[in-house]
Structure 1
Amino acid sequence: MDFIDLLSYEFFRNALLGSLFASVACGIIGTYIVIRRLVFVSGGITHASMGGIGIGLYAGINPILAALLFSVFSAFGIEWLSSKQGIREDSAIATLWSLGMAIGIIFIYLTPGFAPNISDYLFGNILTVTKMDILLLAILSFVLIVVFVLFRREILYTAFDPDFARTRNLPVTFIKYVMMFFIAVTIVLSIRLVGIVLLLSILTVPQMTANLFTSNFNKMIGWSVLIGFAGCIAGLLLSVELDVPSGVFIIFTQILIFLVARIIVRLRQKGRQMKSL
């Protein structure tokens, strides 16, 4: 089945749109995560979202909505514990990471009736993306674009030099909490793509690849979006062809793109060294 034939199916069109908007959101937030070195924080929030999914399944409400609320509170909790309570950030992350996973597993097993299939939440299945998921990702992408266009300098000042940002009378604490909120929302709304287990990769691997070619913040975002979307399309096609969960192949293709880019950069560097001799 070729690409044109796949476009005739609504689920595949939904998957493409979901991939596009998720790539935009993850490209923006992922770049911020990489430059702020918040990868471990993002991993903690991602796995803590399991608590919200478990509560949602047990209470009979939308698991993604429950995960969203749980993740936002977890993100705020990490920031509050590390900045206000004198607890090391890595300790706060590990605590909420473990707590969220434990709560999720407890409530999943307490859910009456048949045990729910949580593999889609753990490993993702982009072919199950709904129109509501697409709408939410589109809104998130639009909001992130507006926020970073209007407040890019304030965000970067706070990210790189909070003391200098305070001398400029910037609300450093408020900006940090807002960014933690956006990280949590982006993580939860992207769970259907690759799942909790693999989600961290789409927030870091495209950005790592982009960083091989540029250190400019805006260019990194642009390249991250393009690389992320290309990886999603390749992963989708491979998953349909081989009948393997899409999340696995999306991450596989993202990492493959990074490795190829890394080889290209190394060859260019060696070529320049040879010319200079």
Structure 2
Amino acid sequence: MTALWELIYHPLTIPFVQRAILAALATGIVCALLSCFLVLKGWSLMGDAISHAVLPGIVLAYLAGIPLIIGAFTSGLFCSVATGYIKENSRIKEDTVMGIVFSGMFAFGLVLFSKVETSQHLNHILFGSVLGTSYQELIQIIAIASIVSILVIIKRRDLMLYCFDAVQAKVVGLPVKLLHYGLLSILALTIVGSLKAAGVILVIAMLIAPGITAFLLTKRFEKMLVIAVIVSAFSTVTGTLISFHLDASTSACIVILQAFIFVMAQFYRVYVNHKVRH
């Protein structure tokens, strides 16, 4: 027991690990909240599209000498708006449009990155580098997470109805278009804030796994939000500590834990259903 406590306590005394845990926790909580709406809406691929689309914005922001977060957010928002515009003005299905748009923008970003001399390491952008989080980056991550979390919690009922049934939301007088693009903007901002912790590639898992796990365990949306946050908080903190001891990718450890918890939840759901039938 003492050895286990030492494994947990020792990393918590190191400043860069403390910053990493706080950054991962803030990222995990906001991703968990948003994941419930994405699961309800069926927007898993949209999160994937925006996360890949931020890469050219990061490179262009670096070239322009402006904060990378501005370029990433602008690029992600452009991707989501462009996807919606093409879908509304063509016969192509939304998933097909997203596949083309995010693949094209990601490829464009890779070409730009390969041609530009930059101090940014591609692996850090693709897979995150939460253990290297600076104090300024931590403040930025917490600020983004706080803004998005407050907005989601305040508008959770409107967003829930829109995600569950957009037609019904329109009938009762909700501003459906505003909710649509507002959710996309929040999603883009969340992805930008999560890049340090999860990177472009693995952020989509943090945006889906907590929500789908909670969806398996409850039928009440309010309870679903709470379960998703608990799952995400546990996996982000534990995954960060594990990655420190193994000297492994933090984002990968977090995602593996979330995937494991999802599998356990699925087994539990199958067991409960089997018990109910018999």
Same-fold status (TM-score > 0.5):
yes
Aligned pairs for 1:111-130 (under 5 A) are 111-112=116-117, 116-130=120-134
Secondary structure, in 3 states, of the residue corresponding to 1:2? helix
Question: Deviation string for 1:156-190 (max 9, x for gaps)?
Answer: 23222222222222211111000000011111110
More contact order relative to length (CA 8 Å, sep ≥ 6)? 2
The answer to whether residue 64 in structure 2 is matched with residue 53 in structure 1 is no
Question: Deviation string for 1:80-129 (max 9, x for gaps)?
Answer: 222355543123212221221122112112213x7742101111121122
The answer to whether residue 8 in structure 2 is matched with residue 11 in structure 1 is no
Q: TM-score, normalised by structure 1?
A: 0.90
Whether the 8 Å CA contact 2:16–2:131 is kept in 1: the answer is yes
Aligned pairs for 1:1-277 (under 5 A) are 2-84=7-89, 87-112=92-117, 116-273=120-277, 276=278
| Identity among equivalent pairs (%) | 23
Secondary structure, in 3 states, of the residue corresponding to 2:170? helix
Q: What do you get for the CA RMSD once the two structures are aligned?
A: 2.1
Distance 1:98 1:84 in 2: 20
Q: Which moved more, 1:31-40 or 1:245-254?
A: 245-254
Distance 1:119 1:60 in 2: 21
Whether the 8 Å CA contact 2:145–2:193 is kept in 1: the answer is no
Moved over 4 A (4+): 84-87
Whether the 8 Å CA contact 1:29–1:183 is kept in 2: the answer is yes
Whether the 8 Å CA contact 2:11–2:241 is kept in 1: the answer is no
> How far apart are 1:140 and its partner, in Å?
3.2
Q: Which amino acid aligns with 1:181?
A: S
Whether the 8 Å CA contact 1:54–1:107 is kept in 2: the answer is yes
Distance 1:119 1:75 in 2: 24
Q: TM-score, normalised by structure 2?
A: 0.89
Distance 2:21 2:125 in 1: 19
> How far apart are 1:241 and its partner, in Å?
1.1
- Label 1:261 to 1:131 Cα distance change in 2 as closer, same or farther (>3 A): same
Q: Which amino acid aligns with 1:44?
A: A
Whether the 8 Å CA contact 1:209–1:258 is kept in 2: the answer is yes
> How far apart are 1:207 and its partner, in Å?
1.3
Q: Which runs of 5+ in 2 are unaligned?
A: 1-5
Whether the 8 Å CA contact 1:45–1:97 is kept in 2: the answer is yes
Distance 1:149 1:81 in 2: 31
